[in-house]
Amino acid sequence: MNVLVTGGAGYIGSLTTLCLMQAGLNPVLLDNFSNSQPQVLDCLEQLAGRRPVCVTGDVRDLALLEQTLVEHSIDAVIHFAGLKAVGESVRQPLAYYDNNVQGSLVLLEAMRRQGVRTLVFSSSATVYAEASEMPLREDARLGPSSPYGRSKWMVEQMLQDLARSEPGWSLTALRYFNPVGAHPSGTIGEDPRGVPNNLMPYIAQVAVGRREALHVFGNDYPTPDGTGVRDYIHVQDLARGHLLACQQGHGRDGFHVYNLGRGQGLSVLEMLKAFELACGRELPFVIEPRRSGDLAAYWADASRAEDELGWKAELGVDAMCADSWRWQASHPMGYST
């Protein structure tokens, strides 16, 4: 199976590419390297024993996409390419609608023209509305609170409409909860630019000495220890979810949506403790006011993915922290070290 992986040089895309190669599929990457480094291709070659084909270009380039689909006889597409920073999306909404919505539209048009009908799309738990019941099921009320979230929701709606418009399309949206961790070898991991927005890369940078202390955003939430609770999922489990969605989606008509999470919430302080165990020392933290826009607690009901895709998260918080620490300790400055 030849699979076009847009955004395949990124954090989740690169580890999914590796997972596809190890399962005997042929991934072809397309990335504009706006948020990734070409060195990841060397790491993939080293781990998989062969170098994946990589097309450098933009997912909004219709001619390039059509050419890539034809040249590489693509059977299915996994679409990661896009922008992902919630705060930035509030300041630059047009960039988010352009990359995430327009990018998906151009991709779907290229697929339609070239008769490629299977797509797996990176959606997010951020599409759910705020006051939903826990755990979040796929049929919970939707209503994202940021332009980033709305861009994901819009693409889901496009996929749903397209699947209804004619038979033959197999369109799957995977709603990720909080992906963390790295490849167990420590060679591929998350390499955020600037100050990390997300918890795990921030803790990892404190552990390696790049940041002084973790800022805990709020300890007065109605949660057991007062800090925010999330459903962290190992990126290796996430990668396997894409492999299964791609294999099982191929030839299965319609629009399908799945939560990918562990179904278990962990607090900021629990994550910090787990990371301390992984790196073998205590890590400094300071309590700060709540971060605007944050929710107290949410986690997934991932039973639909288990029932229909045969997917279940296998790796726990120890592996998430150990693998993340292995990556950070061997690459203190990310891919540039």
Positions in the binding site for ligand UD1 (CB under 6 A): 86, 124, 126, 178-179, 197-199, 202, 215-217, 228, 230, 268, 291, 293-294
Q: Rule CB under 6 A: is residue 12 a binding residue for ligand NAD? A: yes
128 in catalytic set: no
Q: Rule CB under 6 A: is residue 13 a binding residue for ligand NAD? A: yes
Task: Work out which of 3, 4, 5, 11 binds ligand NAD, going by CB under 6 A.
Answer: 11
Q: Residue 35 binds which entry of ligand NAD, ligand UD1, none, with Cβ cut-offs from 5 to 8 Å by kind?
A: ligand NAD
Q: What are phi and psi of 217, to 5 degrees?
A: -85, 85
74 vs 58, 180, 239, CA distance in Å?
17, 29, 19
Which lies closer to ligand NAD via its Cβ, residue 6 or residue 170? 6
CB closest to ligand NAD, residue no = 10
> Least distance from C-beta 124 to ligand NAD, angstroms?
4
Three-state DSSP at 273 gives helix
The answer to whether the beta carbons of residues 252 and 170 sit under 8 Å apart is: yes
Q: What residues pair up with 255 in beta bridges, in sequence order?
A: 171
Q: Rule CB under 6 A: is residue 59 a binding residue for ligand NAD? A: yes
Which lies closer to ligand UD1 via its Cβ, residue 183 or residue 230? 230
Stretch that binds ligand NAD, among 3-11, 105-113, 248-256, 320-328 (CB under 6 A): 3-11
> Least distance from C-beta 280 to ligand NAD, angstroms?
26
Maximal CA-CA distance, the chain? 57
174 vs 72, 90, 155, CA distance in Å?
25, 23, 12
Question: What one-letter code names the amino acid at 121?
Answer: F
d(CA 4, CA 99): 17
Q: Residue 216 binds which entry of ligand UD1, ligand NAD, none, with Cβ cut-offs from 5 to 8 Å by kind?
A: ligand UD1
Residue 195 structure tokens: 């100050």
- Single out the catalytic residue among 148, 202, 221, 258: 148
Task: Work out which of 3, 4, 5, 7 binds ligand NAD, going by CB under 6 A.
Answer: 7
Q: Rule CB under 6 A: is residue 324 a binding residue for ligand NAD? A: no
Say which residues have a Cβ less than 8 Å from residue 6's Cβ, sequence separation at least 6: 13, 29, 30, 31, 59, 77, 78, 79, 80, 81, 103, 107
Stretch that binds ligand NAD, among 55-63, 132-140, 203-211, 327-335 (CB under 6 A): 55-63
Residues 137-176 that bind ligand NAD (CB under 6 A): 176
d(CA 96, CA 306): 31
Which lies closer to ligand NAD via its Cβ, residue 87 or residue 289? 87
d(CA 242, CA 237): 9
The answer to whether the beta carbons of residues 302 and 259 sit under 8 Å apart is: yes
Stretch that binds ligand NAD, among 5-13, 132-140, 160-168, 213-221 (CB under 6 A): 5-13
Task: Work out which of 4, 9, 21, 159 binds ligand NAD, going by CB under 6 A.
Answer: 9
> Least distance from C-beta 234 to ligand UD1, angstroms?
13
E strand or H helix at 31: strand 26-31
d(CA 74, CA 76): 6
Which lies closer to ligand UD1 via its Cβ, residue 77 or residue 235? 235
Say which residues have a Cβ less than 8 Å from residue 27's Cβ, sequence separation at least 6: 3, 4, 5, 8, 16, 17, 20, 21, 52, 53
Q: Residue 82 binds which entry of ligand UD1, ligand NAD, none, with Cβ cut-offs from 5 to 8 Å by kind?
A: ligand NAD
Which residues are tagged catalytic? 148
Binding site for ligand NAD (CB under 6 A): 6-7, 9-13, 31-36, 58-60, 80-82, 84, 99, 103, 122, 124, 176, 179
